[in-house]
Structure 1
Amino acid sequence: MTTLSLATVLAEAARKYPDRTAVVDHAGRYSYAQLWQESLEYAGKLRELGVAPGDTVALVAPNVVEFPRAYYGILAAGAAVVPVHLLLTAPEMAYVLRDSGAKLVVAHSSQLATAAAAATVAGIDVVSVGPRPDGGPGSLESVDAAPLRSYVSRRPEDTAVVFYTSGTTGAPKGAELSHLNLVMNALINTAEAHEARTSDVVLGCLPLFHTFGQTVSMNGTFRMGATVVLLARFTGDAAIDLMVREGVDVFHGVPTMYLAMLEAAAGREALPALRLCISGGASLPLAVLEKFNEAFATTIYEGYGLSETSPTATTNQPHFGAKPGTVGPPIWGVEVEVARAEVEEAIELLPHGELGEIVIRGHNVFTGYRGRPEATAQAVVDGWFRTGDLGTKDDDGFITIVDRKKDIVIRGGFNVYPREVEEVLARHPAVAQVSVIGVPDQVHGEEICAVVVPASADLDPSALVEWSKERLGRHKYPRQVRLVSELPVGPSLKVLKRELRARYSAGTL
């Protein structure tokens, strides 16, 4: 029987680079040998608490060393990890615990109150890790058990991690990622796509409970034996300060992070020397990409993926060169094509250059939604995963994402793609950040609405409308401009358009 465990990523790095620094966080520095030994100790304690191979264990922790320690401890025990994002309420967290069938919750002490309340509702136990507040439940560290000798062997197709989707189209679903999915994605992101180095110092500011931060920043870094510097609470200033202090030369982020760092860089004499920058999670406006590359003297490689694809499916990469405005070609071993979006029961591939739905197949595609065979059958058709994103593929294989299917605005019968409008508005000197949505309109069905974070106090909404008229077609320019101090973002710092639509449609902003 063939075996494979995601725990191998840390175990092999500890064997090969025992004395190298694996993690730096606010509390200290941890070598590979130390981190792996502590993970095996956690694994032994989890086994003592009744966790068996094949179980699922929820993990609630911020970007501190206890996250990778518990993550790899759970994997070493042969269980699957259910990362829980930190913005959930106790009832929302309880839903994830019940739906995933979690046997136990491992919660960092800073998240213990919510995790304990959720565990009570779900009817399961919780243990804490990290500094423990007075009166809290038992800590994992206090469990008396011998460390495991090594990790428990698993089959490549066994579930390693269950990521819960945001639930924009109903109740959140648990996407099951296998050991093979995640080992391959970590390997190819580093060794094949981005030429990572063992000498890299990576900023770990993306939430580790999110697929991008977990696979690319944490697992990818450990696969190379490099160092990840964890930042629990991201701001542009905090990120730059930490990168300069620790000699960070690799940055992984989402567009809002690049924008925050660009703003924080203004007037600074010392900026980090960034060898490699990767953007994902949402479309990066070209204006931001160009300004960041100039300010930091670097090149951003924009990529694309989803929780269901481990996550990376495509990326601009040094070998093929970067095409700004695209998310690059598919990674090694993965096929990415464009299919007819309106045909849902089958996959009808379109010629290069035609607009349709992005579909993916390969070693990165998840094994299914946990306990939801009908949803899995809708998402995976003819062996292809339907992403729900619209885009094109050029003759060189580079993918351009136009928009989410559900984000398209249909104004007077014409399709308007918000990203196209956002790209234009982002070039206005008084616009710091913008998100374009459709709001109900009695005459046109939907109207174009731009929600703008101004870069200066003198931004006049009516003047911005007039400016956009000169640069966008008559059916595309925004008739409504709303000024806000900030855009709502989720745990991965992506702008929550669904929240903007709900608020503006209800007239509450």
Structure 2
Amino acid sequence: MTLSVAAVLAESAARRPDHPAITLGREQVTYRDLWLRARRYASVLAAQGIRPGDRVALLLPNGLAFPPAYFAVLALGAVVVPVHALLRAPEIEYVLRDSAARVLVCAGPLLAEGRKGAEVAGVPLLTVDAPEEREAPRLDLLAERAEPVAGYAQCEPGDLAVVLYTSGTTGRPKGAMLTHLNITMNVGVGMLSPFDFRPEDVLLGCLPLFHTFGQICGMLTCFRAGAAMVLMERFDGPGALELMAAHGCTVFMGVPTMYLALLDAAARDPRRPPLDRAFSGGSALPVTVLQEFRETFGCEIYEGYGLTETSPSVCYNQRAWPCRPGTVGKPLWGVTVEIARAELEGRIELLPVGEVGEIVIRGHGVMAGYLGRPEATAEVLVDGWFRSGDLGVKDADGYLSVVDRKKDLVLRGGYNVYPREVEEVLVHHPAIAEVAVVGVPHARHGEEVCAVVRARPGAEPGAELGAEIVAWSRQRLAAYKYPRLVEFVDAFPLGPSGKVLKRELAARFGGGGGPETRRPDVRRPELR
């Protein structure tokens, strides 16, 4: 049996050659033209010595170069290594060395860091959309004169297709090895359910293509269906609403911060796109946002759960069964999800329905392992299960609720406090636009619950509002759960997928905060 992720584009180009694949600004690229560009890029890469199994790193933002470069690598049977577009030179060097990349394809605007990283790592550089330079040939210009490769190389299902680097919040980033089978199965299953992609759909491609959500759930699933993607170079709420209205977008995929930005934009812009469905992932979406989005856009948000290491989709709310806000739905076809005792190391002990524990997963999406890290692989691939590091609970109907990250758990006075549970209560406060709950060191209780808040327009951040939030939450949460500390920010630090970086918040406010810190007077926290 042979298999290739490159078939996702090649087959749609054969079936729907004249249908738009990508629209960016005023430029529109059909499936025929996109596959032709990819095959020409592949010809240039082959001339540079790229062979099956070689790793090719892509330092490319959302743009017209990413899809053809991505599929060019796959067409040669080589392995794509997407690089986060905001990395600095030492971080780029690390990814290049760790992945043993044979070449780096870098966009012109990212050359300042990309070139330095490539030089230190000793990796040849190809550019796109950049001034032509002797030491950095332009892949896109060379491709214009290249004879396209005939088709795509045949691969075995277990051959590597993509290496995606995790965020590295617990250390140096690790490369999750995804096979052709991992990705094609996740795309094929996800296209039918939960995403329900049809050829006439139009997706707003606003998620970063170098990240698993935007790349696999978005780009690949859209292309597999032969649908159209309206690409957005960088997300902002007003711009996204304008594009969706102008192009008649029917599908939106985003992370919670994007939904909040869209709702803010919709309060000032009366235009509404013909959205049929929206999908959220990356982190927990408050139920209040689900409700407000439905009222504003007349469209259901289906919240789901996935990880880089699972290619990525695991569970989703979907049209196949009733949507349950506050849960991430049921497992995808071919995927099994259970709850295991979190504190056990080296073995899996499954827990009964209704008990909180670590989410463990098995199925077609589970990665082959971490590149070059057998010990780290052995820690997470146990008894045929992938240990997610997330805490969750399943109900009697099989719906999964993600309680929190194991590492985000706040241990206050011996009691477990799950930040997401506290956040779900706090978002109902009329002055809170967005909130992240973290644990900060405390001499008596070990950790104290701290709410980091972005206030709604018109609310005045400060000690008075902080004290009000503490008093308000005390009436609605158990004594060990409600936040004694409230901090205010204008914006949250975000990771590549738009996820709030809670460890940065904990580090920032755990040491007393900076000059912008505003604490209510809670010097005498009570236990009752």
Normalising to structure 1: TM-score of the pair?
0.98
How big is each residue's C-alpha offset from its partner over 1:403-432, in whole Å with a ceiling of 9 and x where there is no partner?
Answer: 000000000110000001111111111101
Q: How does 1:305-316 map to 2 (within 5 A)?
A: 305-316=306-317
How big is each residue's C-alpha offset from its partner over 1:200-226, in whole Å with a ceiling of 9 and x where there is no partner?
Answer: 000000000000000111000000000
Residue matched to 2:519: none
Residue matched to 1:457: 459
Instruction: Tell me, yes or no, if structure 1 residue 90 matches structure 2 residue 78.
Output: no
Shift of 1:141: 2.7
How big is each residue's C-alpha offset from its partner over 1:255-282, in whole Å with a ceiling of 9 and x where there is no partner?
Answer: 0000110111003221112101000011
| Separation of aligned partners in 2, 1:161 and 1:170 | 21
Unpaired segments ≥5 residues, structure 2:
515-528
| Separation of aligned partners in 2, 1:67 and 1:413 | 49
Instruction: Please give the secondary structure, in 2, of the residue aligned with 1:427.
Output: coil
Instruction: Tell me if structure 2 keeps the 8 A contact 1:26–1:64.
Output: no
Instruction: Tell me if structure 1 keeps the 8 A contact 2:193–2:320.
Output: no
How big is each residue's C-alpha offset from its partner over 1:88-139, in whole Å with a ceiling of 9 and x where there is no partner?
Answer: 1100010000000000001112212211111001101110113536787210
Q: How does 1:178-257 map to 2 (within 5 A)?
A: 178-257=179-258
Residue matched to 1:118: 117
Instruction: Please give the secondary structure, in 2, of the residue aligned with 1:103.
Output: strand
Residue matched to 2:330: 329
Q: How does 1:333-372 map to 2 (within 5 A)?
A: 333-372=334-373
Q: How does 1:9-28 map to 2 (within 5 A)?
A: 9-28=8-27
| Separation of aligned partners in 1, 2:275 and 2:83 | 31
| Separation of aligned partners in 2, 1:227 and 1:325 | 30
How big is each residue's C-alpha offset from its partner over 1:279-334, in whole Å with a ceiling of 9 and x where there is no partner?
Answer: 00111111111111111111000010000000000000101121000000000000
Q: Which moved more, 1:4-13 or 1:142-151?
A: 142-151
Shift of 1:241: 0.6
TM-align CA RMSD: 1.2
Instruction: Tell me, yes or no, if structure 1 residue 495 matches structure 2 residue 500.
Output: yes
Residue matched to 1:263: 264
Instruction: Tell me if structure 2 keeps the 8 A contact 1:109–1:133.
Output: no
| Separation of aligned partners in 2, 1:252 and 1:18 | 25
Q: Which moved more, 1:134-143 or 1:96-105?
A: 134-143
Instruction: Please give the secondary structure, in 2, of the residue aligned with 1:343.
Output: coil
AA aligned to 2:77 is G
| Separation of aligned partners in 1, 2:159 and 2:97 | 20
| Separation of aligned partners in 2, 1:273 and 1:139 | 40
Residue matched to 1:153: 154
Instruction: Tell me, yes or no, if structure 1 residue 395 matches structure 2 residue 396.
Output: yes
| Separation of aligned partners in 2, 1:140 and 1:27 | 22
AA aligned to 2:148 is P
Residue matched to 1:31: 30
Instruction: Tell me, yes or no, if structure 1 residue 414 matches structure 2 residue 415.
Output: yes
Instruction: Tell me if structure 2 keeps the 8 A contact 1:48–1:145.
Output: no
Instruction: Tell me if structure 1 keeps the 8 A contact 2:130–2:138.
Output: no
Instruction: Tell me, yes or no, if structure 1 residue 469 matches structure 2 residue 470.
Output: no
Instruction: Tell me if structure 2 keeps the 8 A contact 1:281–1:305.
Output: yes
Q: Which moved more, 1:416-425 or 1:24-33?
A: 24-33
Instruction: Please give the secondary structure, in 2, of the residue aligned with 1:229.
Output: strand
Residue matched to 1:55: 54
AA aligned to 1:208 is L
Instruction: Tell me if structure 2 keeps the 8 A contact 1:4–1:154.
Output: yes
Instruction: Tell me, yes or no, if structure 1 residue 480 matches structure 2 residue 485.
Output: yes
Shift of 1:23: 0.4
AA aligned to 1:105 is L
| Separation of aligned partners in 2, 1:485 and 1:223 | 40
| Separation of aligned partners in 2, 1:410 and 1:27 | 53
AA aligned to 1:334 is V
